[in-house]
Amino acid sequence: MKKYGWFILLFAVVQVRAQKFDSLALTPPMGWNSWNTFSVNIDEKLIKGIADSFVKDGLKDAGYQYLVIDDGWMAKERDAKGNLVADPVKFPNGMKSVVDYVHSKGLKFGIYNCAGNKTCGGYPGSRGHEYQDALLYASWGVDYLKYDWCNTEKLNAEGAYMTMRDALYAAGRPVVFSLCEWGENQPWKWGEKVGHLWRTTGDITNCWDCEDNHGTWSSWGVLRTVNMRKDIRQYAGPGHWNDPDMMEVGNGMTVQEDRSHFTLWCMLAAPLIMGNDLRSMTNQTREILTNKEIIAVNQDALGVQAMRYATVDSVEVWVKPLVNNEWAVCFLNLKSKTQSMDFNWQEHTITDVVANRTLDFKKETFQLRNLWTKKTSGTTAKPLQASVASHDVLVFRLSRK
Ligand code: GLA
């Protein structure tokens, strides 16, 4: 017995050493979440319909994987044993059967709760029930947890999220852990060891550049959301991503704005979580969401978030290093009218201190692949002359000649 003592001790230490699940979300998670369109009005029929659309409409094929139900899935009270219960009217067959259905489509299932006593919608929160809830999710086969920050009083954010991380780890089923703390306690500074993505801002809303004031809090348009956090790109990387919130593509902006929103999320290596009704989206919306060449920029294995390199005549130039010495460059027109531009590559030497790489157009010539028209034409040897519609983008993949 004595000679096995050390092994038993080592085994015990490994068992209790809590951590996040590694090797998950090595590229930004891709999926769908119910909140932006449906708020708490979700049910079994909707979720199954969305799962069907993932497959039927080519979203699964484009790389979307996680189907996440947000707030509103629970009954207002826990049961006699303190377990969470799915709302019996919305989910008459319980949650496990919904998870099984989603898994049967080759997808993964995500769920929502909150670090506080109650969720933002007033349903039972996980505070004090973290280990119990994690076990329940594992028994249902949950693969992703979005964990919110309402009703947390004076809780310490890092500590509260670590408790849930440890609970998930102890439950033993690998779960992508999405911290939804709105950037209030700078989660980019401590989030890497806790979760796989962290919200950097408050809630997004379906407009380009507005603030929607709800009294005690506001939700923010796409551009506001992007501009709110400027210096945090160095904190993102494989397995730990800055999350500027779920997408509003297909929820009412112009096609140019939707295209720019999607492109920016791809450039920012943001989680690509769709927020529209997939069952009724237009072809135009589907084409945006399933553009594999733009998605490849988001899913690039280097995992470096783009930087805003320059703003020339209200056209922003965003640059993202990619593997194999390739780059993505995006021109975004902020004006409310079409803007013509003349960008002489040769005048620019772009250094990225995060990736530790320099793009010197005098030393190297790159071929240009337009990722929306999907045409390869021209090189960086000649100035780029183009016009960009209002709130629209031009985005290129640059590869060596
Ligand atoms: C917060 C989150 C949203 C959503 C709602 C649900 O506002 O930031 O993304 O989950 O709560 O009530």
What number of other Cβ atoms are within 10 A of residue 177's Cβ?
23
Nearby residues of 278 by Cβ (< 8 Å), 6 or more positions away: 32, 50, 53, 54, 57, 59
Is the pLDDT at 1 greater than 50? The verdict is no
Is the pLDDT at 81 greater than 70? The verdict is yes
Q: What is the mean pLDDT of residues 154-167?
A: 98
Q: What is the position in ligand 1's atom list of the atom closest to the CA of 182?
A: 8
Collapse the DSSP code of 42 into the 3-class scheme (helix H, G, I; strand E, B; otherwise coil) and give the result: coil
Gap from CA of 133 to ligand 1 centroid (Å) = 19
Q: Of all protein residues, whose CA lies closest to atom 8 belonging to ligand 1?
A: 203
- What does the pLDDT look like over 240-253, one tens digit per residue? 999 999 999 999 99
Instruction: List pocket residues of ligand 1, CB cut-off 6 Å.
Output: 35, 70-71, 119-121, 148, 180, 203
**Closest Cα to residue 217, out of 118, 130, 150, 274?**
150
Q: What is the mean pLDDT of residues 345-361?
A: 97
pLDDT score at 77: 98
Gap from CA of 336 to ligand 1 centroid (Å) = 31
Contact (CB, 8 A) for 248 and 204: yes
Best residue for ligand 1 mutational test, from 203, 225, 248 (most atoms within 8 Å of Cβ)? 203
Is the pLDDT at 211 greater than 60? The verdict is yes
Nearby residues of 14 by Cβ (< 8 Å), 6 or more positions away: none
CATH topology of domain 18-298: TIM Barrel (3.20.20)
pLDDT score at 43: 98
The domain spans of the chain are: 18-298, 307-400
HSE toward the beta carbon, residue 123, CA cutoff 13 A: 17
Give residue 313's pLDDT band: very low, low, confident or very high (50, 70, 90): confident
Gap from CA of 105 to ligand 1 centroid (Å) = 27
CA 16, 17, 20: angle at the middle one, nearest 5? 120
Collapse the DSSP code of 218 into the 3-class scheme (helix H, G, I; strand E, B; otherwise coil) and give the result: strand
pLDDT score at 358: 97
Give residue 4's pLDDT band: very low, low, confident or very high (50, 70, 90): low
Token code pair at residue 161: 């999220």
What number of other Cβ atoms are within 10 A of residue 82's Cβ?
11
Domain 307-400: CATH superfamily, name plus number: Golgi alpha-mannosidase II (2.60.40.1180)
Is the pLDDT at 7 greater than 80? The verdict is no
- pTM beyond 0.85: the answer is yes
Place of tokens 């259905």: 101
Distance CA(135)–CA(133), nearest Å, equals: 5
- What does the pLDDT look like over 290-311, one tens digit per residue? 999 999 999 999 999 999 999 9
- What does the pLDDT look like over 168-193, one tens digit per residue? 999 999 999 999 999 999 999 999 99
Is the pLDDT at 15 greater than 90? The verdict is no
Q: Among 15-24, 49-58, 138-147, which stretch is predicted with the lowest mean pLDDT? A: 15-24
pLDDT score at 3: 56
Which of the residues are catalytic? 148, 203
Give residue 161's pLDDT band: very low, low, confident or very high (50, 70, 90): very high
- What does the pLDDT look like over 82-102, one tens digit per residue? 999 999 999 999 999 999 999
Q: What is the mean pLDDT of residues 350-364?
A: 97
Q: What is the position in ligand 1's atom list of the atom closest to the CA of 120?
A: 12
Cα torsion for 52, 55, 60, 65, to the nearest 10°? 30
Gap from CA of 299 to ligand 1 centroid (Å) = 25
Contact (CB, 8 A) for 249 and 289: yes
- What does the pLDDT look like over 250-278, one tens digit per residue? 999 999 999 999 999 999 999 999 999 99
